[in-house]
Amino acid sequence: MNIDFHCHIYPEAYLKKLEASTGDVRIETNAKGEKIIVSMGAKAGPVTPEFFDIDLRVDEIKKHRVDMQVLSTPHPGVDRFSAEESAEMSRIINDGLALCVKKHPKHFQGLAMLPLIDTKAALKELDRAVLDLGLSGMCMLTNVAGKTLDSEFLLPVYKRAEELRIPIFIHPTTPLGAQVMQEWRLAVILGFEFDVMLSATRLAYAGVLERFPELHFVISHLGAGLPFLAGRIDRGYHDPTCGIKTKKPTSDYLKDLYCDTVCFYQPALKMAYEFYGPERMVLGSDFPLLIGDLPGAVPSIEEMQIPDRDKKKILGENAERLLKRS
């Protein structure tokens, strides 16, 4: 079974909430009449029917030999709103994801969004989403309203996720400093990747990955440049002036992360394979974003010069293992 772990859907009720927003996170209509999601200067879209028409999506994934998608509704997320609005939007998203799974259980599973700016509300919604709605994990952004993922207020959420034995998918969002990335969609092209590396490295440096050894994080886009920069990141561990107090070198913790295979470049895929190993990679397409590649997702793994056994792990077996809560 080929399982696409990195793909997105916007429940229609959630889109209506964004359309009514006049704040920093909203929907705009461009000159072509297309709906574009705007968040702190970063734009995503256009919002085509594939983003919300679940029946259309089934036909599309079958065409490209994907058997199941693990749906998430990350960017722009719910963290840039008030605590009350964030909780409401999380409920709307999770209810929408659950309906998709109920309608096509063989083709979809869902990852909950949580109002992480309010820890108590996040824990309540996490239990509801997993225990009542049957969602298979949770999705969070690389920063929570500008606060890093090693922040103290997130630790109870990690603890509960570990108890529930669910994976956490970390998806990039607009980083701080995005005002210098306005042109050419640099906030998405490069800024997202900076935030992936920053969030994962902070989780390792701060000891969060050491504190929750049974909690499985899945990071986007091969972990951005983490395999390339692992040696440099380890320098921080060995430098006493950095003050890192973990028991093992940082790269040991980073190698325990899972990564999705959204990449577009075969040499990068091979480097990630050598860094994480075949047991820590899951198929990803970033569908239906323009920057995604559903047609190339499965072929990109099939074309790798690696054993067929490892290809099967990456294409689906690893994701199956992550999604089983036993």
pLDDT at residue 319 above 70?
yes
Kindly state the tokens that stand for 152. 């103290």
Identify the pLDDT of residue 194. 92
DSSP structure class, residue 142: S
Taking the domains of the chain in order of start, what are their residue ranges?
A: 3-323
pLDDT at residue 326 above 70?
no
Identify the pLDDT of residue 121. 98
- Rounded distance between C-alpha atoms, residue 52 and residue 57, angstroms: 8
- Rounded distance between C-alpha atoms, residue 322 and residue 275, angstroms: 19
Q: In CATH, which of 3.40.50.620, 3.40.109.10, 2.130.10.10, 3.20.20.140 is domain 3-323?
A: 3.20.20.140
Confidence of residue 116 (pLDDT cuts 50, 70, 90): very high
Q: CA distances (Å), 104 to each of 22, 53, 54, 278, in order? A: 34, 12, 8, 29
The arithmetic mean of pLDDT across residues 253-259, rounded, is 97
The arithmetic mean of pLDDT across residues 34-46, rounded, is 77
Write phi, then psi, for 288 (nearest 5 degrees). -105, 30
pLDDT per position as a tens digit, 182-214:
788 787 888 888 999 999 999 999 999 999 999
Q: Which helix (DSSP H) or strand (DSSP E) does residue 217 occupy?
A: strand 217-219
Top pLDDT among 122 and 41 is at 122
- Rounded distance between C-alpha atoms, residue 301 and residue 285, angstroms: 11
Q: Average the pLDDT over each of 39-43, 113-117, 128-132, 160-164 and give the range with the smallest value.
A: 39-43
Q: Which helix (DSSP H) or strand (DSSP E) does residue 125 occupy?
A: helix 119-127
pLDDT at residue 160 above 70?
yes
Collect all residues with Cβ–Cβ distance below 8 Å to 110 and sequence separation of at least 6.
Answer: 70, 71, 72, 94, 97, 98, 100, 101, 133, 135, 136
pTM listed for this prediction: 0.94
The arithmetic mean of pLDDT across residues 63-73, rounded, is 97
Identify the pLDDT of residue 44. 76
pLDDT at residue 76 above 90?
no
Percent above pLDDT 90 for the chain? 77
Nearest Cα residue to 294 out of 60, 81, 104 = 60
Q: Is the peptide bond before 115 cis (omega within 30 degrees of 0)?
A: no
pLDDT at residue 288 above 60?
yes
Identify the pLDDT of residue 37. 84
Collect all residues with Cβ–Cβ distance below 8 Å to 49 and sequence separation of at least 6.
Answer: 56
Contact 304, 274 (CB under 8 A): no
Identify the pLDDT of residue 41. 63
Identify the pLDDT of residue 325. 60
pLDDT at residue 239 above 60?
yes
Identify the pLDDT of residue 83. 93
Q: In one letter, which amino acid is 189?
A: I
The arithmetic mean of pLDDT across residues 225-237, rounded, is 95
